[in-house]
Each structure stands twice: as C-alpha cells, then as structure tokens.
Amino acid sequence: MLQLLLDGLSRKAARHHRSKPFTMRNGAPLASFTFDDVPDTAYTNGAAVLEACGLRGTFYVAAGTCGRRDTHWRVIGRDQVRALHARGHEIGCHTFSHVRVDRLDARALEDECRRNHELLGGLCAGVRPTNFCYPFGGVSLARKLQLQQRFDSCRGIYEGINAGIVDLGLLRVIELYDRTLTPDKLRRVLRETCARNGWLIFYTHDVAETPSWIGCSATLLRATVAAVQAEGMACLPVRDALTAIGYRTDATASAHGAQS
C-alpha cells in the first residue's frame, strides 16, 4: 500500500515539477506532427500526407517491436524505418521493447535506451535519436530525471500547448484522434497557440480509414495540416522545432535557456 502511494506521488511530481525548464525564444508559433509506436499505416498514410504538403514528422520507434503485429495494427518493419529516415523524417526513441518507464529501475531503462539506439544506428547509418517519448505516457520523477539527461526532449501524453517557460522533460501535446479532435477544439488550440506564440505538438498512432481509438484518419490529418498551414505556422519535426525555439544541443544548452 505504501509503495502504491509513493508511486502515485512520483508520477504526480513528474507531471507537475518542471524539471527541465527552458524559455522558448521562437519568433513565431509553430507545430509538430508526431507518431507513437509507428504502426505501418503511420508510414504508408501518415508520412505520405505530410510529404505531400512538403512536411516531415517525428516517428517514435521502439525498434524491438518492428514488424510485430499488435492488437490494432502491425508495427513498421526495419526497411520502413530506413525509408522514413532517408526521406527526412525524424526517428525518435520509444524504448526498445515499448515498456512503461515508470516500472523500470535505472539500469533497466538505460539498457532499453542503449539497445534501441544500437539497433536504430545499425539500421540507419548516423542515426542517434535525440528525442524521447514515454510509452503509454507512463513517467515517474526518477525516470524522467534520468531520461532528460540523455535526450534533448521527452514528450508525454498530457494535453496542453507549450509556451513561455516549458518543461523539456515532459512536453505537452494535443491528441490527433478522430474521436477527440473536433473542428471546434482544433480552432481553439490554434487560436491559443498563435496568441501565446506557442509550440503545438500533435500526436497520434495509426492513420487509417477506420482508425483505432488512439488513431486518426488521413482525412483528419490532412485537414489538421491545412488548418495549421492556414495560420502561417511552420510545421517542423521535434528536432527542428527545438532549434526554432532557441534550444542548443551542446553542453551549454540547459544553462543558457533554463529558468528557475
């Protein structure tokens, strides 16, 4: 019982404690389109929609699951990971075996990241994922602190717009799901992002004609891209969005941008 209480407090602290604060210095509002787990339809349909608009996205890959069939989809294969990289999309880290990091100790998490980096590096020469996404959104304070030392950013599943002083240890998102992203909600978050000069990160999983409950249709993805571009907002992978907000990836980046 005590352990359950402590675990809950750790998850709450991870969510609310801004452990990697950074003051955004972007000149204009921007958006990113991200895909978790990377079902094969995120590759065949999602990447195609972005590319048709001249855009690139961030695909968070758990390399140990490549080619496997899940409840709702088949995960992309290794050749498709190579193709995404070759076409200019960002490959992010989603652990190796797609496991909740809040259930791991420090050694196990380090092993998950190392194995993922090694396999992805072997698939795509020169690939070194610099941005992370928490599988299932599971995060504890200890594992958050560990991951934010390794990666430039860590993205969660908590909703919100990143603006002003943001937490690079737990970036906020907007669900790109057919069941939740209504036209009214999209208009509202776009207005707020523009008003706050923010960074809007969309996330989804599959991109299918009949998507899963955590996916979207190609129609919704196209409409969302069109709405973002109609606002004149740049659409960048997370790695490039970090540059746009003024984050430097050298050793002085945190000291340069952090605020207490």
* Residues with Cβ within 8 Å of residue 125, at least 6 apart in sequence: none
Residue 256 in any domain: the answer is no
Residue 9 in any domain: the answer is no
| Residue 15 confidence class, pLDDT cut points 50, 70, 90 | confident
CATH at 123: 3.20.20.370
> What is the structure's pLDDT at 1?
63
Map the chain to HEC letters: CHHHHHHHHHHHHHHHCCCCEEECCCCCCEEEEEEECCEHHHHHHHHHHHHHCCCCCEEEECHHHCCCECCCCEECCHHHHHHHHHCCCEEEECCCCCCCHHHCCHHHHHHHHHHHHHHHHHHCCCCCCCEEECHHHCCCHHHHHHHHHHCCEEEEEEECCECCEEECCCEEEEECCCCCCCHHHHHHHHHHHHHHCCEEEEEECCECCCCCCCCECHHHHHHHHHHHHHCCCEECCHHHHHHHCCCCCCCCHHHHHCCC
pLDDT in tens, 85-116: 999 999 999 999 999 999 999 999 999 999 99
Q: Is the pLDDT of residue 12 over 70?
A: no
Residue 183 in any domain: the answer is yes
Percent of the chain with pLDDT over 90: 85
Residue 242, both tokens = 């970090």
Residue 13 in any domain: the answer is no
pLDDT in tens, 146-163: 999 999 999 999 999 999
Residue 165 in any domain: the answer is yes
- Mean pLDDT of all residues belonging to the chain: 92
The parent domain of residue 167 ranges over: 20-247
Residue 259 in any domain: the answer is no
Q: Is the pLDDT of residue 251 over 70?
A: no
Which residue, chain included where needed, has tokens 């193709």?
A: 83
Q: What is the pTM of this model?
A: 0.92
| Residue 124 confidence class, pLDDT cut points 50, 70, 90 | confident
Residue 260 in any domain: the answer is no
As a whole number of angstroms, the distance between CA 14 and CA 142 comes to 8
Residue 45 in any domain: the answer is yes
- For the chain, what is the domain count? 1
pLDDT (mean) for 26-49: 98
